[in-house]
Amino acid sequence: MSRILIIDDDEELCELVSEYLSVEGFETEEMHDGESGLKKALANNFDLITLDVMLPKMNGFDVLRELRKSSTTPVLMLTARGDDMERIVGLEIGADDYLPKPFNPRELVARIRAILRRVEQTEESRKGENEKLFVDDVELQTAARSAIRNGDDLNLTSVEFDLLAALLREAGTIIKKEDLSRNVLDRDISPFDRSLDMHISNLRKKLDNDRIKTIRSVGYIYTVI
């Protein structure tokens, strides 16, 4: 049974989400402020954390920054609907995905299951054969989850690593956004879902080159020299 930590100051919402997740087979715990939520996250072994941005004592961004110093536990950020900046910041500092409030509980469960599947696949790949990808000045090793450019570690998030691996495997070939979303985010893309674009934008910044090109209305391509 996967253990989910819910960090949100809306106690009524926490109770409803906990009940729904319990029915879906998850074990849940709730914390209602940033400081206690961070302590609970660091002191216990959770499979995933849902983290609200607006929290008393310590906001969700600061919680995530502190958490990422020592933990790779997947985090699903809960953001204000229509606030793109919150989503961008959350993804930049290490969130695995985001979900705008208010949300449908079924969508929450779907996002949680997608993240957990991705983590499970990552663990399986680490135990399996180490795939090595070399494209120009970038080197990836899948078992070690290592991404290096010109000798420097790129410090990629889990999603960014999987995106880069998918692009490098098909370097020089256009990959449709729909395929990237299914294979990396484990869900079909929707017209208003910008998470894939944000992850690609963050990946471009860390690569510090212009190799990832956007093919308008189609997808992306990692160009080679």
Range of weakest confidence among 49-53, 61-65, 119-123: 119-123
Query: Residues 105-129: what's their mean pLDDT?
Result: 78
Calculate what percentage of the chain has a pLDDT beyond 70.
94
Residue keyed to tokens 């893309």: 189
Q: For the chain, give every domain's residue range.
A: 3-123, 129-222
Kindly give, in sequence order, each residue whose CB lies less than 8 Å from that of residue 125, ignoring residues fewer than 6 positions away: 131, 142, 143
Write the CATH number of the domain with boundaries 3-123: 3.40.50.2300
pLDDT tens digit string along 197-223?
888 888 898 998 888 999 988 899 999
The pLDDT confidence band at residue 67, using thresholds 50, 70 and 90, is very high
**What pLDDT is attached to residue 190?**
77
Domains 3-123 and 129-222 share a fold: no
* Domain range 129-222, CATH architecture: Orthogonal Bundle (1.10)
From CA 157, how far away is CA 54, in angstroms rounded?
23
DSSP assignment of 21-40, as one string? HHHTT-EEEEE-SHHHHHHH
The pLDDT confidence band at residue 81, using thresholds 50, 70 and 90, is low
Per-residue H/E/C for 91-155? HHCCCCEEEEECCCHHHHHHHHHHHHHHHHHHHHHHHCCCCEEEECCEEEECCCCEEEECCEECC
